[in-house]
């Protein structure tokens, strides 16, 4: 079957690197850009893999999907946490509309496609640890093994293992993903075909100091070859081999869910909340240790946080949390004050960090966010600092990350390159992508 739309998703692919720094080294990307249109694609808030890909493919915001990261806390519970997989995406994504209209689809490695759905076509799910049930139809697993050997959806241990092993591993997983997609493109085909590879994200988090001269650790790698550049050149070659199989009349999109930027360090958000008298632990942490809710003295706590690329702050709200301390009538003023205090935090050099605070519930009323939303999301240094949830640090700032080395954080601007029969650009917001794909099939969203 001749594919009508092909989407190549490269998680975290950076527009600054593709369009500028490495532009002269990427002939395939360049030829696509020259033949079509391209630009920076604005991600959602938060610009993280989950929910960003599902937002791109559903046209829904995180608040509409009720997804705010990979891990979630059940609202009103201190102990109930879950990871958001395919079962937690409760709005249709493009393939749901297409299959309903009789089109066939093929998905390889698209985030939040595990457990794999049954549909007209094929799916290779995205669970890095699943050894069973990774494909639909189940028999596809044997074909994959025959063609590319033992399939690995993602690299594990990319923060901790030896750098040269990590680099080889990331390159091998990316090469396998492209080889598999190329095989399925010709062996099975489909009207809508999409792959996502996590490689660029893994490369940036581990090796960004090599490619950004302004990175605080760049000096340590002077004189060494840039593994990020080499990785992008290899991506370019994989793309060239894939394009050779794409019919010239097909709509082709190369997209990323967000970009990357240098990481300055970590901000210990729970230690900061403790210093403000908003969070109290049953026993003060004397040395750095991971945070979990069992450490908290809830009767003396008004707010606590989770770390990650962005910080998520939860209010211990009366009537919602079991031992809530902030009366519902005071929530608005409490969040306003907390947002203002978070926004004005100074960095280690005494100048403002430039923190951005996002409140998901509209203070003027309006539609409540879906699902288990945090009360605030915080971008420390506008995402040039990571939020650290762990407690017991000496100060609020750390050079490193508490979950292993990390060179990069996410940037809200990703990549969009389109080549195809349409003259106009599909749009430069991640939320424009699903409507454009459906338009190319003549399918109305919501139909």
Q: Does 154 bind Zn ion (CB under 5 A)?
A: no
Pairing of the two strands 192-197 and 105-108: parallel
Q: Give the three-state DSSP class for 61.
A: coil
In angstroms, give the least distance from the CB of 177 to Zn ion. Answer: 15
Give min distance, CB of 50 to Zn ion, in A: 8
Structure tokens belonging to residue 258? 């967000």
Q: CB of residue 138 vs Zn ion: minimum separation in angstroms?
A: 28
Contacts of 328 (CB under 8 A, 6+ apart): 317, 318, 319, 320
Contact predicate 436/426, CB 8 Å: yes
Give me the least distance between CB of 296 and Zn ion, in Å please: 30
Chain position whose Cβ is nearest to Zn ion: 49
CB-nearer residue toward Zn ion: 202 or 238: 202
Q: Closest approach of Cβ 171 to Zn ion, in Å?
A: 18
**Bridge partners, 37 (sequence order):** 418
- Quick one: 4 or 202, whose CB is closer to Zn ion? 202
Per CB under 5 A, 257 contacts Zn ion: yes
411 lines the binding site for Zn ion (CB under 5 A): no
User: What backbone torsions phi and psi does residue 346 show, to the nearest 5 degrees?
Assistant: -90, 150
Helices (H) and strands (E) in the chain, counts: 12, 19
| Selection from 314, 309, 279 nearest residue 295 by Cα | 279
Instruction: Report whether 124 contacts 140 (CB < 8 A).
Output: yes
Q: How far is CA 241 from the centre of its chain?
A: 26
Give least dist CB 75 to Zn ion, A. 25
Binding track over 33-72 against Zn ion, x by CB under 5 A: ----------------x-----------------------
- Alpha-carbon distance of 26 to 41, in angstroms, equals 19
Nearest Cα neighbor of 378 from 312, 427, 326 is 312
Region binding Zn ion by CB under 5 A among candidate stretches 9-17, 18-26, 81-89, 384-392: 9-17
Alpha-carbon torsion 402, 406, 407, 409, what sign?
negative
> Whose Cβ is closer to Zn ion: residue 49's or residue 113's?
49
Q: What angle do CA 398, 401, 402 make, to 5 degrees?
A: 100
Which one, 126 or 171, has the nearer CB to Zn ion?
A: 126
CB closer to Zn ion, 49 vs 174: 49
Q: Give the interface segment with Zn ion, choosing from 29-37, 84-92, 217-225, 254-262 (CB under 5 A).
A: 254-262
Of the listed pieces 178-186, 250-258, 269-277, 385-393, which binds Zn ion according to CB under 5 A?
Answer: 250-258
Among 5, 10, 11, 426, binds Zn ion (CB under 5 A): 11
What's the CA gap between 183 and 234, in Å, rounded? 18
Site track 198-237 with Zn ion (rule: CB under 5 A), x = hit: ----------------------------------------
Closer CB to Zn ion, residue 53 or residue 304? 53
Q: Which residue has the tokens 């003549």?
A: 442
> How many CA atoms, within 13 angstroms, populate the side-chain half-sphere of residue 163?
15
* Spatial distance between the Cα atoms of 426 and 435, rounded to a whole number of angstroms: 8
Token reading at 392: 């017991």
Q: Of 8-16, 36-44, 83-91, 302-310, which segment contacts Zn ion by CB under 5 A?
A: 8-16
| Residue with Cβ nearer Zn ion (200 or 265) | 200
- Residue 169 or 257 having the CB closest to Zn ion: 257
In angstroms, the CA 264 to CA 385 distance is 5
User: Residue 66 or 412: which CB sits closer to Zn ion?
Assistant: 412
The residue (of 49 and 104) whose beta carbon lies closer to Zn ion is: 49
CB of 11 to Zn ion, least distance (A): 4
Positions that interact with Zn ion (CB under 5 A): 11-12, 49, 257
């Amino acid at each position: 079957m001749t594919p009508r739309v092909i989407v190549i998703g490269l998680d975290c692919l950076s527009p600054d690197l593709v369009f500028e720094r490495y532009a002269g080294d990427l002939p395939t990307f360049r030829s696509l850009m020259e033949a079509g249109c391209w630009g920076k694609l604005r991600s959602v808030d938060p610009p993280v893999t989950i929910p960003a890909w599902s937002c791109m493919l559903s046209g829904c915001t995180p608040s509409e999907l009720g997804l705010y990261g990979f891990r979630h806390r059940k609202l009103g519970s201190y102990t109930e946490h879950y990871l958001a997989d395919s079962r937690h995406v409760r709005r249709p994504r493009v393939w749901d509309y297409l299959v309903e209209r009789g089109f066939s689809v093929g998905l390889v490695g698209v985030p939040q496609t595990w457990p794999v759905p049954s549909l007209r076509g094929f799916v290779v799910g995205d669970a890095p640890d699943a050894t069973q049930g990774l494909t639909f139809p189940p028999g596809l697993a044997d074909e994959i093994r025959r063609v590319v050997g033992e399939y690995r959806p993602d690299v594990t241990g990319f923060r901790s293992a030896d750098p040269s092993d990590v680099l080889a591993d990331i390159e091998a997983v990316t090469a396998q993903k492209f080889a598999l997609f190329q095989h399925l493109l010709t062996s099975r085909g489909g009207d809508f075909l999409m792959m996502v590879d996590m490689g660029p994200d893994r490369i940036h988090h581990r090796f960004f100091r090599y490619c950004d001269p302004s990175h605080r650790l760049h000096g340590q790698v002077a004189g060494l070859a840039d593994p990020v550049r080499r990785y992008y050149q290899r991506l370019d070659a994989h793309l060239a081999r894939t394009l050779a199989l794409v019919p010239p009349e097909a709509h082709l999109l190369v997209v990323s869910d967000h970009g990357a930027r240098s990481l300055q360090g970590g901000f210990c958000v729970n230690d900061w909340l403790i210093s403000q008298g908003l969070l109290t632990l049953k026993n003060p942490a004397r040395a750095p240790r991971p945070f979990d809710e069992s450490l908290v003295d809830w009767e003396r706590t008004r707010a606590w946080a989770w770390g990650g690329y962005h910080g998520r702050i939860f209010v211990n709200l009366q009537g919602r949390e079991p031992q809530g301390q902030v009366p519902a009538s005071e929530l608005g003023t409490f969040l306003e004050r907390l947002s203002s205090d978070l926004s004005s935090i100074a960095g280690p050099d005494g100048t403002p960090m430039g923190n951005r605070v996002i409140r998901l519930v509209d203070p003027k009323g309006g539609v409540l966010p879906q699902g288990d939303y945090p009360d605030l999301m915080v971008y420390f240094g506008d995402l040039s600092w990571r939020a650290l949830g762990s407690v017991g640090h000496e100060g609020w700032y750390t050079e490193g990350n508490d979950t292993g080395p990390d060179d990069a954080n996410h940037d809200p601007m990703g990549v969009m390159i389109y080549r195809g029969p349409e003259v106009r650009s599909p749009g430069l917001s991640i939320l424009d992508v699903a409507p454009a794909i459906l338009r190319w099939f003549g399918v109305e969203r919501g139909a």
